[in-house]
Amino acid sequence: MSQMLSRLGWDETLASAYRVLDRPDSLPGRVLRADRGVCTVMTEQQTERASLGGGVLVSGARDPADLPCAGDWVVLRRWPGHRVTVECVLPRRTALIRRTADKDASGQVLAANMDTVAVVEPMHPEPVDARVERLLALAWESGADPVVFLTKCDTSAEPEAVARQIAGLAPGIPVVAVSVRLGLGVEQVRAYARSGRTLALLGRSGAGKSTLVNALAGTPVMPVQQIRDADGKGRHTTAYRNLVLLPQGGAVLDTPGIRGVGLLETGTGLDRAFAEVTALAEQCRFDDCRHEGEPGCAVAAALADGMLSPRRLESWRKLRREVEVESARRSVRLAEAAGKRRRRP
């Protein structure tokens, strides 16, 4: 195993998956950036620009979400004349996927093979609880370990109180207050991107993701722009997903600022993001309890006793309705696709 690939997270599991695809003109690498039809890939020796081969897939699935993205491990093939192609994407261990507006798409892959997903939320003007909850559900869904970074903590008069507030939305999840300007919390963040580990940053434009990447890299590798003082919003500084190699080893995935995140209907991300509501729902008398006045509802009892906040419950209900709608849409899409296959001669 090469030292470079090892620093990026290459291990025996990946090596085993690669062996069955190995050939004299092939080599493994990790995608640093994926553009339309072209990927920038780090191999054991150098950075390569590679176009997509004829059958690039993840685990044999035919879906746009399975095309290479930043963080993917891929198999490259060298052709005569210095041409290089991505022939295969090795199975992903984790994937950060959000639902897209396109009714025919299953989702957009923001990043792959990260060990930790950090929800990045600024303390200025103030954190938005509902956004943190939504992003945490997405982080849990990825299969990676979630963490919350509260950036620009030097702009808050009571950063400890803000951190406690957000910790209440993320039971059991580390919450780190960070100020790049003062150097506070940066070393705690760095621990999540040590050699062999990958940290993905998820948050809105202006949250300070690119500034944090530059601090970890020790040099300006991502552009940053000023934000508006009135609302803390900024232009989309990062317009693409980018895997940045860090001097101490490891890597950080910077993602574009996102205004909204649609949740897919698979997995348990929402249940884990609202673990206390999930635990209460399991205590209800009826398995199909909607928590809207049914007898024996443990959620309603906790609400009445003050053990569960109305805002927290409403946030869960909103996201749950969204997931249910997406589940119904997905069922329709699958049925339509099956019908088309049956009608083919």
DSSP character at residue 147? E
pLDDT at 60 over 50: no
At residue 239, the pLDDT reads: 54
Average confidence score pLDDT of the chain: 87
Q: Does residue 260 lie within any of the structural domains?
A: no
Q: Are 7 and 250 in contact (CB under 8 A)?
A: yes
The three-state secondary structure class of 172 is: coil
Q: Are 25 and 70 in contact (CB under 8 A)?
A: no
* Same domain (yes/no): 100, 209: yes
How many Å apart are CA 276 and CA 295, to the nearest integer?
A: 20
Report how many domains make up the chain: 3
* Same domain (yes/no): 104, 191: yes
Mean pLDDT for the stretch of residues 331-340: 74
At residue 102, the pLDDT reads: 57
Query: Which structural domain, as residue segments, surrounds residue 141?
Result: 96-254
pLDDT at 108 over 70: yes
* Same domain (yes/no): 65, 135: no
Query: Among 165, 149, 168, 121, which Cα is nearest to 273's?
Result: 168
Burial class (CB in 10 A: 0-12, 13-18, 19+), 293: exposed
* Same domain (yes/no): 75, 100: no
How many Å apart are CA 176 and CA 312, to the nearest integer?
A: 22
CB count, 10 Å around CB of 55?
9
User: pLDDT band at 13, cuts 50/70/90?
Assistant: very high
At residue 264, the pLDDT reads: 67
* Same domain (yes/no): 331, 316: yes
Q: Are 201 and 209 in contact (CB under 8 A)?
A: yes
* Same domain (yes/no): 210, 113: yes
pLDDT at 103 over 50: yes
At residue 284, the pLDDT reads: 97
At residue 133, the pLDDT reads: 94
